Amino acid sequence: MIREYFEDYVKCFPDKWSWNLKSSPDQHELYMRTRARRSKGSIGKNYDLLPDFYSIERDAGQFELDYVEWTDFFGLTWIGEKGVRAYAGAPNYQGNLYYYNKDDDECDEEGFSVTYDYDAYENQPPEDTYTRIKLRGIYHWIDTANVVDVSYKYIVENHLFKDTHIDLIYEDGERLTVFSEYDELIKGLLKHGKENLVNKIFDSMDEHFIKLRDSDREEERQFYPGKTAEEMFLS
């Protein structure tokens, strides 16, 4: 059974290049004086005047290079590396979903396949089995109906949930890990009658919270939420 569907995932693109300015205070200052431009109010839009790297990439291809340092006519040094990891994007207009199954004959080289049974719009995975959760801006549909055990893992540090995760465990031994964003997951577990598992998560979270409260480091104590996990998620 497929435990998780998702609308996008990070994929390796071996032939794409990434370009970054070589890091130094002088380079940053020169960049701000030459190529940088102020935003005109469009959130997320970059108005800086960047070089056109296409000819550099094509020239590097002639010599089978996968790493380049190139200096533009302002004296800015750019580092280019071939092979990037980026979001794959929707597989088609219908928005059909991905799932991971390394043994599927239809999967790509990284083990991801497309399901044509479900999509992100009109025919989402059934609510009697799956819960839709937004993780790092991407929607996932996770099987919360068949979870038989859970485990909340944490590190006491100067963050609350940043480096925590919840493992969902199924009867066949399969595990699924959810990081940092737990509101919808907890609602989904409760919706599917998993109150005992939610209480187990809350017990571990409360232990985490108390260790933050009692830490000998001020930068950790300030992240004590001042409430129980049940109060945080259910009140």
Please write the tens of the pLDDT for every residue from 139-179. 999 999 999 999 999 999 999 998 999 999 999 999 999 99
Q: Which residues of 160-181 are buried (b: 16+ CB within 10 A; e: fewer)?
A: bbeebebebeeeeeeebebeee
pLDDT at 111: 84
**Distance (Å) of CA 56 to CA 62, 81, 83, 227:** 10, 12, 15, 56
Q: What is the mean pLDDT of the chain?
A: 93
Nearest CA to 98 out of 2, 176, 189, 185 is that of 2
Provide the 10 A C-beta neighbour count for residue 59.
Answer: 12
- Provide the pLDDT confidence category of residue 11 given band limits of 50, 70 and 90: confident
Q: What six digits make up the tokens of 202?
A: 């809350």
Q: Where are the alpha helices (DSSP H) in 44-194?
A: 54-62, 183-191
Nearest CA to 100 out of 174, 150, 169 is that of 174
